[in-house]
Each structure stands twice: as structure tokens, then as C-alpha cells.
Amino acid sequence: MTSSDTGRPRGGTSGKRRAILDGALAVFARDGYSRASIDAISAEAGVSTRTVYNHFTDKAGLFQAVIQESASRAAAAQIEIIERHLRKVTDLEADLMEFGLAWAMPMAADHDAHFALVRQINADAGHIPQEAIDAWQETGPLRVRRALAAHLSRLTERGLLRTDDPERAALHLFLLISSVNPSYHRVTPSEKEIADMVTAGIRAFLYGYAAR
């Protein structure tokens, strides 16, 4: 067994909880809810299985805590990118392009884990309590989409864009700049491939495919 003990005896109170959440995120993202075992999670966290149950009521509770935190963190990072690139827009196409690049490039260590977890949620939605899904959507995807929609709305008022439904436009923009095939690939795409995809996505978002 790979005893990757990242969390040795730490100061303060309950650094164990952090380790459990991180380990659980990794395992849930990789294996999905039903495959993920508490043993695997506790091993990944460098913690005894009993400690997991001292911090969380049961597997379902741990899962909901994990997806909630993952959504919160990822949303914060994504909103930060949105704000940084779209707060002041001078050259629309160039600024959107930089935004798309920053968006699509791996932003953090748990970047892949987060999106793998989203896929798991997406597939497992039928077995997750509706309130948990609603809460997750609210603190995660919906919040981000609204943040982007607000900026698109401002850009529309400035006459740079045109749309009567900024939320839908935000969804379209997300789809177009994230269009790299989700999984299926064992290898992560190169920077150039990502850049090509983002470029094509932004162009499509701005100008579409109709002949001029």
C-alpha cells in the first residue's frame, strides 16, 4: 500500500479533517461514490478509518461535504479568473481569448480531481438527495455562471455584445471553451491543443459559423 502520508501530526486542531476531505476528494473523483471505499479514503488521507467516522457521520455525509467544498473552492477560483479578465475589457476578442486560456489551463492541483468529481455527480445525480444537488449547484456552477452572465450583460450594455439572455450566453461560452473531450483520454492535452480549442471556441462564440 502506498502510504503517502501528507498529513503528519500537525499543529492546531484537527488537521485530520483537512486530510480526510482531500483524500476523499481524490478517491471519490477517481472511483465514484459506490466504488470508493472508506478504507481507500482513509489510506489516501493517512488516517485510520475510525477517524473518518469521528469526523463525519457516514459515507454519504462525507461525500456531500466533499462535493460542497470542491464546488466552493473551484467556484471561487473560477470567479477570480472571470473577474480578473473581464472586469475591464478594452479589446473584446483579445480579452476573451486570454480569459479562455486562463480558464482552460489547469489552474490547480485539484483541477482534474474537481472536474472528475463533477462527472461523477453528473452520472450519480439519481442517487444523491435532491437538496444536496441543489445546494451543490447553487454554490458551484450556478454561482459561476451568474458571475459570467453579469459581465456579459455589462458588455452588452456597452454595445460590445448582443444577447437578450446573458445566462444562456454564459452557458454557451462555457461549453465552447471547455469543449475538450472530457475523459476518454489518459493523457492531458498539450498547451497548444488547449490554446487551439479555446481560440476556436471564442471565435465561434463571437462570430459563429455563418458565411459573412
Partner DNA sequence: TACTTTTTACAACGTGCGTTGTACTTTACC
Partner DNA sequence: GGTAAAGTACAACGCACGTTGTAAAAAGTA
Residue ranges binding a copy of itself (CB under 8 A): 30-32, 34-35, 92, 116, 119-120, 122-127, 130, 133, 137, 152, 159-163, 165, 168-169, 171-173, 175-176, 179, 182-184, 186, 197, 200-201, 204-212
φ, ψ (nearest 5 deg) of residue 13 = -115, 130
Residue type at 52? Answer: V
| Nearest to a copy of itself of 23, 140 (CB atom) | 140
Half-sphere exposure of 153 (CA within 13 A, CB side): 10
Selection from DNA, a copy of itself, none that 126 binds (CB < 5 to 8 A by kind) is a copy of itself
Q: Restricting to residues 8-27, which ones interact with DNA according to CB under 7 A?
A: 8-14, 16-17
Output the smallest distance, CB 108 to a copy of itself, in A: 20
Do residues 5 and 46 lie in contact, with contact meaning Cβ atoms separated by under 8 Å? yes
Output the smallest distance, CB 76 to a copy of itself, in A: 21
DSSP conformation letters of 58-91 = SHHHHHHHHHHHHHHHHHHHHHHHHHHHHSS-SS
- The grid coordinates of residue 87 equal 472586469
Residues that bind DNA (CB under 7 A): 8-14, 16-17, 35-40, 46-51, 53-55, 58-60
